[in-house]
Amino acid sequence: MSEAAPKIEVEDLRLAYGTKEVIHGITFDVHHNEILAVIGPAQSGKTSMLRCLNRTIDFVAQATVRGTIRVDGEDIRRVRDVFALRRKIGMVAPLPVGLPITIYDNVAFAPRSAGRTRKADLDPIVERCLRQAALWDEVKDRLGSLGTALSGGQQQRLTIARALSHQPEILCLDEFSIAIDPVTTMRIEDVLKELREEMTILLVTNLTQQARRLANRTMFLWNGEIVELDDTDAIFSAETKDPRTRDYVRGVFG
């Protein structure tokens, strides 16, 4: 892994919904061009943490964020253009969210919103993103069809293509495989391995073996605290530093 400054630096991050604190002062870095997996039981703060990174947590009433998050050295709470931040940090939700427009327009939506309206500019963007999401060969002859008419697995890959359309430097995936079949899951995993060459990826997953297959490093988050963060091989070895990590990856609880 490169010794360059981290892509993301999180220091003493705390998040509360009203009076209930759900993330309790976590600190970690994310390196350039790595896949960092985040595992842990439900209600451990995994999704909330992702939402802090691109400031979609701002839309949640009564949410209070403390601590510091830096992306490329810049404090995200002080950025002047939060929309540019969100373009920089793509997000893929657990369930496919296809817009009720054509497949082409789903992928072209973000570039158009940024002012790129010429078909000659949009065509290569749409093809590139659909290829990156391993969907092009399946839909190239029906780009004018509704995106919502695709299968669940295809819609999830369309969601990834849409997230890639504004060329994010960071891609956050929140349990992307929760509603799709194992074959499609493996196809998307292959896509992520290739995308790691181009961007930094944060992968929240409830599948510990998925983290083991994909991640350079793995974080075990439990009750809003980091129990352990290490190279993935170390997290899944018998010599893990914390017995709670060993029990979780072995399926003793979860």
Q: Does residue 233 lie in a domain region?
A: yes
Q: Does residue 181 lie in a domain region?
A: yes
Q: Give the pLDDT confidence score for residue 134 in this predicted structure.
A: 87
Q: Does residue 254 lie in a domain region?
A: no
Total structural domains within the chain: 1
Q: Mind listing the pLDDT tens digit of every residue in the chain (254 residues)?
A: 446 789 999 999 999 999 999 999 999 999 999 999 999 999 999 999 999 999 999 999 999 999 999 999 999 999 989 988 998 999 998 877 778 999 999 999 989 988 888 999 999 999 999 998 889 999 999 999 999 999 888 998 999 999 999 889 999 999 988 878 888 889 889 989 989 999 999 999 999 999 999 999 999 999 999 999 999 999 998 776 788 998 899 888 76
DSSP secondary structure string for all residues of the chain: ---SPPSEEEEEEEEEETTEEEEEEEEEEE-TT-EEEEE--TTSSHHHHHHHHTTGGGGSTTEEEEEEEEETTEEGGG-S-HHHHHHHEEEE-SS----SSBHHHHHHHHHHHTT---HHHHHHHHHHHHHHTT-HHHHTT-TTSBGGGS-HHHHHHHHHHHHHTT--SEEEEESTTTTS-HHHHHHHHHHHHHHTTTSEEEEE-S-HHHHHHH-SEEEEEETTEEEEEEEHHHHTSTT-SSHHHHHHHTTS--
Which residues on adjacent β-strands are paired with residue 68? 11
Which residues, other chains included, contact 174 with Cβ-Cβ below 8 Å and sequence gap of 6+? 46, 47, 50, 91, 92, 93, 94, 204
Q: Give the pLDDT confidence score for residue 123 in this predicted structure.
A: 96
CA separation for the pair 197, 193 (Å, rounded): 8
pTM reported for the whole predicted model:
0.90
Q: Does residue 31 lie in a domain region?
A: yes
* Residue 90 zone, left/alpha/beta (φ > 0; ψ -120 to 50; rest): beta
Task: Specify burial of residue 243 (Cβ count, 10 A radius: 0-12, 13-18, 19+).
Answer: exposed
Q: Does residue 247 lie in a domain region?
A: no
- Does residue 173 contact residue 203 with C-beta atoms inside 8 Å? yes
| Structural domain for 208, as ranges | 8-238
CA separation for the pair 50, 215 (Å, rounded): 16
Q: Does residue 92 lie in a domain region?
A: yes
Which residues, other chains included, contact 97 with Cβ-Cβ below 8 Å and sequence gap of 6+? 155, 159
CA separation for the pair 50, 95 (Å, rounded): 15
Q: Give the pLDDT confidence score for residue 1 in this predicted structure.
A: 47
Q: What is the CATH number of the domain that holds 196?
A: 3.40.50.300
Q: Does residue 3 lie in a domain region?
A: no
Q: Give the pLDDT confidence score for residue 3 in this predicted structure.
A: 61
Residue written as token pair 């985040």: 38
Q: Does residue 164 lie in a domain region?
A: yes
